[in-house]
Structure 1
Amino acid sequence: MTPERYAKILRVLSRRQPTLTVLMDQVNKPHNLSAIIRTCDAVGVLEAHAVPPSDGRELDFTGDTFEATSGSAHKWVRVQRHVDAVQAVRGLQARGFQVLATHLSQRSVDYRDADYTRPTCVLLGAEKWGVGEGAAGAADGNIIIPMYGMVQSLNVSVAAATILFEAQRQRLATGMYGAPQLSPTELREQAFEWSYPDLAPGYRERGEPYPALDDAGQIVP
């Protein structure tokens, strides 16, 4: 760990947005998963959520395709797995998130009309079948990206980027990137996990607190 590297970690964490996230409902293609995670990192998402495909396949966060497309972003964005999209929506709502599903319905609104300065989860579905009706119905709102061409929808990773950068725009305008949203304790713990990813699991397994780091990112004896 170099002082420069540690300074960058602290700078990035100071802009992380724990109140902005995504829920990927059965998005299973590695290039889409990795591209969405890369966008999450770019806009400051701390943790993403995902439901695996209903055919029993596990989410693939490995392999050359994922690694190449993610640009190592998966190291900086945790992905919380869920077994069911509706349950995941309810759980996020219980934590205070509004869930906005990318879904065409009678209540759909232009994605730019949503207020992303609120704690927000963007719910995305796989390209072939989209967000499930149950999850879309359980969501607080449905949003769409207006389309004026012959095709009816964007690639899911492109749609995610479009919506998340609108969220970033709104949050920048209100100064939400100007002060840390993580508490000092959360920031210190996350900084240790990012700085020492090989050591952190051992501390968690033993139930021990992370050691303190000095201003250069070195472990304090």
Structure 2
Amino acid sequence: MSACKTLIQAWVSSCTECNLRRLNSRTSLSSLFLPLLPPRFLSLRSPPGYVSLGVSRKQYSRCASTQLAVSEYATELPLDEQLSDEFDNKDTVEQILNKTDDVTTFMKMERRPEGESRFSDSSRWFPYLDEFRAGDAVLNSDQVLESVDSYIMESRKSRFEDAVRNRSYAVCLVVEGLSDFGNVSAVFRSADALGIQSLHVVSCNSSKRYRENRHVSMGAEKWLDIELWDSTKECFEVLKSRGYRIATTHLGMDAVSVHDMDWTCPTAIVVGNEKRGISDEALSLSDLHCSIPMKGMVDSFNVSVAAGILMYHAVCDRNSRMGSHGDLTQVESKILLAEFSLRHSRSALSIAHEYAKRKLKPTPKL
């Protein structure tokens, strides 16, 4: 096996070097490499300036000494095909949770002021205005979608539309004092998969590193609305002003089974620290306590598992009562679709800004 691997690597290296010598400034990367290698050697998850072909970085560096401007080709590709997009985003969950300002980098459309908590035709919180500020200009969601339409593949747009159709702000999740970034990442991933768009993190401990668990979230944090809070009291006060009831997970005599709750009512689910659980402050400030029935010898779930079960049950209950978990209005859906389109790639922001300059510049007077 070792000899076979060495032989394959030598063949790849020789073929790559040979073809790079023949490469001129107009040759596409796909036409060079695709005919040479079987699919298992190709990877679209390569960082900028590095193409994964089953060869080592050292081998590639030797090949890259020829005049090959990878960035030149990347700018010519549609947003979905730019290899650098995934690696341009250096925001990890650890960085997000340790730096409050970093959270806003994910939110592109203008946020609704706290005092103005709801649309007139909606009974629950929706955070965005129909505005995107592009320099001195302001684009609405229709204009944002028009600006990036030709740069996003149809399959990707269909994925966005399906996700938005199943999104809701009526159920949100609050994680209080989690110190394990792996657990936080798992919660983010479950929330995205189940259509829970809004997450709140209270006083996260920054003593542990996230890099070891980066694969856990699978980039879900990029598509969620994450808000950070310094105190439980402040978080709960804002959530109540937005129309949420606060349901903390607790194994007390007054706890209501999750099976007996009506999840069509706007609800903020609160899960606590891995060791200490929900704080006394959170318990006293909450509107009700809920519990997950357990039949085994232990009396608790892992916090990320508990959060996943609660969110899953909430979604199932809403589906049975309402026919669908997703409940955004047509206007809200279009705004969130524009938000996803802008989050899709850093290039999308530049494209929207250029669109604003071109489309909305004043017409010169004759």
Aligned partners of 2:293 and 2:281: how far apart in 1?
A: 23
User: Residue 216 of structure 1 aligns with which residue?
Assistant: none
**Relative to total residues, which structure has the larger helix share, 1 or 2?**
2
User: Residue 318 of structure 2 aligns with which residue?
Assistant: 171
> 280, 285, 299: which is aligned to 1:152?
299
Aligned partners of 1:144 and 1:159: how far apart in 2?
A: 10
Alpha-carbon distance, 1:177 to partner? 2.4
Matched, 1:131 2:282: no
Q: Secondary structure at the match of 1:16?
A: coil
How has the CA–CA distance of structure 1 residues 105 and 203 changed in structure 2, closer, same or farther, with 3 Å as cutoff?
Answer: farther
C-alpha offsets along residues 22-48 of structure 1, whole Å, 9 cap, x if unaligned?
000011211110111111112111110
User: Residue 193 of structure 1 aligns with which residue?
Assistant: 339
Aligned partners of 2:242 and 2:181: how far apart in 1?
A: 29
> 252, 255, 258: which is aligned to 1:105?
252
How has the CA–CA distance of structure 1 residues 25 and 46 changed in structure 2, closer, same or farther, with 3 Å as cutoff?
Answer: same
Matched, 1:19 2:166: no
**1:102–1:122 Cα contact (<8 Å) kept:** yes
**1:9–1:194 Cα contact (<8 Å) kept:** yes
**1:192–1:200 Cα contact (<8 Å) kept:** no
**1:17–1:181 Cα contact (<8 Å) kept:** yes
Letter in 2 for 1:193: E
Aligned partners of 2:257 and 2:226: how far apart in 1?
A: 27
Alpha-carbon distance, 1:59 to partner? 9.0
Aligned partners of 1:110 and 1:28: how far apart in 2?
A: 27
**How many aligned residue pairs are there?**
204
TM-score (norm 1): 0.82
How has the CA–CA distance of structure 1 residues 200 and 24 changed in structure 2, closer, same or farther, with 3 Å as cutoff?
Answer: farther
Aligned partners of 2:334 and 2:246: how far apart in 1?
A: 29
Structure 2 portions without partners, runs of 5+: 1-151, 361-366
How has the CA–CA distance of structure 1 residues 200 and 113 changed in structure 2, closer, same or farther, with 3 Å as cutoff?
Answer: farther
How has the CA–CA distance of structure 1 residues 4 and 162 changed in structure 2, closer, same or farther, with 3 Å as cutoff?
Answer: same
Of structures 1 and 2, the larger Rg is shown by 2
Aligned partners of 1:83 and 1:148: how far apart in 2?
A: 36
C-alpha offsets along residues 63-99 of structure 1, whole Å, 9 cap, x if unaligned?
240x311122111112100111122112111111111
Aligned partners of 2:347 and 2:208: how far apart in 1?
A: 25
User: Residue 32 of structure 1 aligns with which residue?
Assistant: 183
User: Residue 82 of structure 1 aligns with which residue?
Assistant: 229
Aligned partners of 1:194 and 1:170: how far apart in 2?
A: 27
Aligned partners of 2:182 and 2:287: how far apart in 1?
A: 28
How has the CA–CA distance of structure 1 residues 185 and 139 changed in structure 2, closer, same or farther, with 3 Å as cutoff?
Answer: same
Aligned partners of 2:350 and 2:236: how far apart in 1?
A: 31
TM-score (norm 2): 0.51
User: Residue 211 of structure 2 aligns with which residue?
Assistant: 63
Which structure has more RCO (C-alpha within 8 Å, separation ≥ 6)? 1
Alpha-carbon distance, 1:115 to partner? 1.2
How has the CA–CA distance of structure 1 residues 121 and 9 changed in structure 2, closer, same or farther, with 3 Å as cutoff?
Answer: same
Alpha-carbon distance, 1:175 to partner? 2.9
**Relative to total residues, which structure has the larger strand share, 1 or 2?**
1
Letter in 2 for 1:82: W
Letter in 1 for 2:333: L
Runs of 4+ in structure 1 deviating by more than 6 angstroms, as ranges, are 200-204
How has the CA–CA distance of structure 1 residues 80 and 13 changed in structure 2, closer, same or farther, with 3 Å as cutoff?
Answer: same
Q: Secondary structure at the match of 1:93?
A: helix
Structure 1 portions without partners, runs of 5+: 212-219
**1:98–1:119 Cα contact (<8 Å) kept:** yes
Aligned partners of 2:252 and 2:208: how far apart in 1?
A: 28
Aligned partners of 1:93 and 1:58: how far apart in 2?
A: 31
Q: CA RMSD in A?
A: 2.7
Q: Which shows bigger deviation, 102-111 or 11-20?
A: 102-111
**1:27–1:125 Cα contact (<8 Å) kept:** yes
Alpha-carbon distance, 1:190 to partner? 2.4
How has the CA–CA distance of structure 1 residues 124 and 202 changed in structure 2, closer, same or farther, with 3 Å as cutoff?
Answer: farther
